[in-house]
Amino acid sequence: MITETTTKGAGDSPLTLTSVRVAFGGLIALAGIDLDVGRGERLAILGPNGAGKTTLFNVVAGDIAPSAGTVTIAGEDVTSAPPRRRPALGVARTYQKTRLFSGLTVEQNLVLARVGKVGGHRRFRRGPALADARERARRVAHDVWLGDFVDQPVASLSHGQQRQLEVGLAVITEPQLLLLDEPASGLSRGERERLIEFLTGLEKTVTLVLIEHDMDVALQVADRVMVMADGEKVAEGETEAMRNDERVHEIYLGTQPGGPVGESA
Ligand SMILES: Nc1ncnc2c1ncn2[C@@H]1O[C@H](COP(=O)(O)OP(=O)(O)O)[C@@H](O)[C@H]1O
Ligand SMILES: [Mg+2]
């Protein structure tokens, strides 16, 4: 792969991991991962269950401190920084399992996500900040196809709608680095297509790292693919080149290249 040399240092990358290692007792979840994500890049992380994908997100988000290695976000070494440092650096993530407030409405969930980012609940009691958050909430709800559901409690939404709302909660913080953990899981075909449309339409200033089990979503959205297995990076390359990579097919799909995988109907 050809990498452009720029005058800026590696410190300007949205995300750099150097030899990141995580062990849970005797289990090595990440066995020394190196990764550099360029600004505006869309990276898909593929790999079987237990490969270490979510652990990698946990390290980037600060939920887990690595036992070795460094994590640099937007030029700042955050290896030992607490999770609360991340929003200030423009990081937003979704979780594999939903973390919505099910008793609150779509709009309320979105407003709270916005408030959490901008900080200072007191500012939001009344006045222009709250009005602004509510207006943004309605816009984002519309963007993730929940425009007709803003006043509905989350508990009344379908699984797919809840997943879409999770993406909305991340997006309303206006992230520089967006981490999505299997956003297409459990979505219907139509919902997946809308998700692809939404993700490919994201502003190019946003850097996107996507853990995705669904090959259609991963291959249509990503510029680059990283394949993990057993805590290691086993393959990496531009999406087009990876489409027919044997390791992608064997490790990830248990099939041979040349099949229908990745070709959308
Ligand atoms: N908090 C934890 N404590 C102990 N083991 C964990 C923890 N989180 C993940 N693991 C283990 O680490 C490995 C990688 O998990 P994970 O990162 O969730 O994989 P993936 O997201 O690729 O399916 C798995 O074997 C999993 O059981
Ligand atoms: Mg996972």
- In this predicted model, what pLDDT tens digit does every residue of 195-204 receive, in sequence order? 999 999 999 9
* Ligand 1 pocket member 29 (CB < 6 A): yes
Listed in sequence order, the residues at least 6 apart from 144 whose beta carbon sits closer than 8 Å to its beta carbon are 164, 165, 167, 168, 171, 198
CA of residue 213 to ligand 2 center, whole Å: 9
On the question of pLDDT at 265 being above 50, the answer is: no
User: How large is the C-alpha radius of gyration of the chain?
Assistant: 19
* Ligand 1 pocket member 50 (CB < 6 A): yes
User: What pLDDT was estimated at residue 226?
Assistant: 94
Give the orientation angle of helix 128-143 with respect to helix 159-171, to 10 degrees.
130
**Residue 254 backbone phi and psi in degrees, to 5:** 65, 30
**What is the chain's percent helix, strand, coil content, to nearest 5?**
40, 25, 40
Beta-bridged to residue 93, according to DSSP, are 179
* Ligand 1 pocket member 55 (CB < 6 A): yes
pTM, entire model: 0.88
On the question of pLDDT at 7 being above 50, the answer is: no
**Residue 226 backbone phi and psi in degrees, to 5:** -120, 130
169-195 CB burial, b ≥16 within 10 A, e <16: bbbbbbbbbbbbbbbbbebeeebbbbb
On the question of pLDDT at 31 being above 60, the answer is: yes
Ion ligand 2: residues, CB within 5 A, are: 53-54, 96
Listed in sequence order, the residues at least 6 apart from 150 whose beta carbon sits closer than 8 Å to its beta carbon are 105, 106, 107, 137, 138, 141
- In this predicted model, what pLDDT tens digit does every residue of 126-178 receive, in sequence order? 678 888 999 999 999 999 999 999 999 999 999 999 999 999 999 999 999 99
User: What pLDDT was estimated at residue 128?
Assistant: 82
User: What pLDDT was estimated at residue 214?
Assistant: 82
Q: What is the mean pLDDT of the chain?
A: 87
- In this predicted model, what pLDDT tens digit does every residue of 91-132 receive, in sequence order? 999 987 878 999 999 999 999 999 876 655 555 566 788 889
On the question of pLDDT at 255 being above 80, the answer is: no
User: What pLDDT was estimated at residue 8?
Assistant: 41
